[in-house]
Amino acid sequence: MPESEMYRQPTRSEIIELAVAEGHDADIPGNAGSIHQVPSHTSTPRSKHQNHDPKKPSAEAMDKDIEKGSTAESILSEEAVVDSNEDDPNVVSWDGPDDPENPMNWSYTKKWGTVCLISAITFLTPLASSMFAPGVPEVMSTFDSTNDMLEQFMVSVYVLGFAFGPMIIAPLSEMYGRLPLYHSCNALFVIFSIAAAVASSMGQFVVFRFFMGCFGGAPMVLGGGTIADLINREQRGTAMVVWMMGPTIGPCVGPIIGGFLTVAKGWRWNFWFVAIVAGALMLMSIILMKETSAPVILERKANRLRAETNNPKLRSKLASDLSPADLFKFSIIRPAKMLTRSPICLAMSVYIAITYAYLYVLFTTFTAVFKTQYHWKGGIVGLSFLGIGIGSLIGQFGFTYFGNKTVKKHIARNDFRPEHRLYTMCVGGFCLPVGLFWYGWSTQEMTHWIVPILGTGFIGFGLLMTFMPATTYLVDVFTVHAASAMAASTVLRSLCAALIPLSSSKMYKAMGYGWGNSLLGFVSLALIPIPFLFIRYGEKIRARNSVKL
């Protein structure tokens, strides 16, 4: 990293961008500090309301109106943020631009090796969410169950864990660093994968699947921050694309592997496979991974220097003014407030949640649909997930290309608004119902199997083209508190993805595949106006509504 880049004070926009990548709000200190940039008088975390500095904008001022962007942007401009710690001899920072302790100065091999490792872990845990879906009938037979609701829930309960685990993991990582959370969550993920493999009852199996989801969500919470710790802005986009492959195509590739593995070895081997691979990755991470969080590294350095010099006044440049209670409060209360008090956050989160739930409606029913309508058997059933996987992959690349092209055009014109992110969402909004109608009626009429597979490809494309722009829109609108807005969206979508599929089998039995999927299509049609409305009225809505956090 160039010396000038490392030692100039970061701008407000850079702090926000880095904070979002690290998975926290920009008023919580990260690798670039926080938007407050207030000198700490101790390295021990404390309540944000203690020792208030007159130069620091008050919490009330900073949180007055997070959607208008008026307060934060007027208090802290896009110019470099002034750091009053700079000339303080008691402030501990990096030892020059080439400090080997700074993760940005690690060797190319070490940095990209870490990125590849966390990308592999992040690929495995979403893959495990749906890998055993083709083996669901065998699981039901093993536990002598005929409960349709349980049949769907055993797949989607994993995603329920995604709603609860990250709410605890995120604040803990701010306090103790990323590495302890990686190791502990990886170990617990392996343990509960083994427990699911040897479960002796349906109740045990569902509980173990839930805890797999809780701890399996750790790399998705921590991975973006690890990449931001290691990779400079110019190369970070490439690393993030590699890392995002896991959550995008992992759930679609899993059933393809699981279909053949179930036939060859039985459904329990899906979990043994996950446990073996996760165990190998855990051992590699223990041996190869190091702590990458700059605040944690500098805090350890400050502790070491205090002991060596007997100077209790030494403090880390990135020391947090937040107590553990504050971190947990912000992690839980802020997202809840956003979801209930912001019309933008609520509308976008509902849209994301419903479309994401459709993904798990399909995951929990594909096996039954293609077995009954097309008489597919054995491992071939897993190939029914191929269409939605390819569609999702095309959607991700489509959003990246066209989304970036649109944003660059408006930035060049100097008229960029967050609502410009939503143009690609309008396209995805139409593709989703088209795919649902296509898939539903082609399955109902038992046309050639390629026809419904192509329909699911449209669904996968539509899902990514709605999910990705809606998420980036939330980041642009909420800026300083973008991570909390994304957390609110994540919790709602995980709850919907876990609970809505429970009624899918009954819906198909009552309405058939044609009208059942048409019902989902009509709901998605009703959602189409949302991005159009925000493109036209979003700026006015942001001007009229405020959320005090």
For residue 2, give the amino acid letter: P
Per-residue confidence (pLDDT) for residue 214, from 0 to 100: 93
Give CA–CA dist 532/461, Å, rounded: 19
Q: Nearest to residue 251, comparing CAs of 391, 439, 435, 124?
A: 124
Give CA–CA dist 157/150, Å, rounded: 10
Helix (H, G, I), strand (E, B) or coil at 388: helix
For residue 345, give the amino acid letter: C
Give CA–CA dist 402/387, Å, rounded: 22
Angle at 67 between CA 65 and CA 69, to 5 degrees: 75
* Tens digit of each residue's pLDDT (9 = 90 or more) over 79-124: 455 455 556 777 887 887 788 888 888 898 999 999 999 999 999 9
Per-residue confidence (pLDDT) for residue 41, from 0 to 100: 43
Structure tokens at 49: 């309301």
Cβ partners under 8 Å of residue 367, min gap 6: 133, 134, 136, 137, 255, 381, 384
Q: Nearest to residue 390, comparing CAs of 453, 314, 315, 348?
A: 453
Asked whether the beta carbons of 181 and 173 are under 8 A apart, the reply is: yes
User: Which burial class, exposed, middle or buried, applies to 524 when counting CB atoms under 10 A from its CB (0-12, 13-18, 19+)?
Assistant: buried
8-state DSSP, 35? S
For residue 83, give the amino acid letter: D
Q: Report in angstroms the alpha-carbon separations of 446 from 103, 368, 514.
A: 56, 14, 11
The secondary element (H helix, E strand) that includes residue 92 is: strand 91-92
pTM, to two decimals: 0.83
Structure tokens at 161: 């864990």
Give CA–CA dist 274/276, Å, rounded: 6
Give CA–CA dist 258/135, Å, rounded: 7
Helix (H, G, I), strand (E, B) or coil at 316: strand
Domains along the sequence of the chain with CATH: 94-291 (1.20.1250.20), 323-549 (1.20.1250.20)
Asked whether the beta carbons of 380 and 264 are under 8 A apart, the reply is: no
Q: Report in angstroms the alpha-carbon separations of 499 from 129, 155, 503.
A: 15, 11, 8
8-state DSSP, 31? B
8-state DSSP, 68? T
Cβ partners under 8 Å of residue 142, min gap 6: 267
* Tens digit of each residue's pLDDT (9 = 90 or more) over 338-356: 888 889 999 999 999 999 9
Q: How many residues does the chain have?
A: 549
8-state DSSP, 30? B
Asked whether the beta carbons of 415 and 336 are under 8 A apart, the reply is: no
Give CA–CA dist 372/374, Å, rounded: 6
The count of other CB atoms within 10 Å of the CB of residue 414 is 6
DSSP string, 159-184: HHHHHHHHHHHHHHHHHH-HHHHHHH
Structure tokens at 477: 């609108």
Q: Nearest to residue 34, comparing CAs of 286, 294, 214, 282?
A: 294
Residue showing tokens 């470099």: 80
Helices (H) and strands (E) in the chain, counts: 21, 2
Helix (H, G, I), strand (E, B) or coil at 432: helix
Give CA–CA dist 420/161, Å, rounded: 33
The secondary element (H helix, E strand) that includes residue 370 is: helix 343-374
28-44 burial: b if 16+ Cβ within 10 Å, else e: bbbbbbbbbbbbbeebe
**What sign does the CA torsion over 141, 142, 146, 152 have?**
negative
User: Which burial class, exposed, middle or buried, applies to 380 when counting CB atoms under 10 A from its CB (0-12, 13-18, 19+)?
Assistant: middle
The count of other CB atoms within 10 Å of the CB of residue 355 is 27
Asked whether the beta carbons of 226 and 292 are under 8 A apart, the reply is: yes
Q: Quick one: CA torsion of 427, 430, 432, 436, rounded to 10 degrees?
A: -150
Give CA–CA dist 360/371, Å, rounded: 18
pLDDT beneath 70: ranges in the chain:
1-9, 36-87, 234, 545-549
For residue 540, give the amino acid letter: K
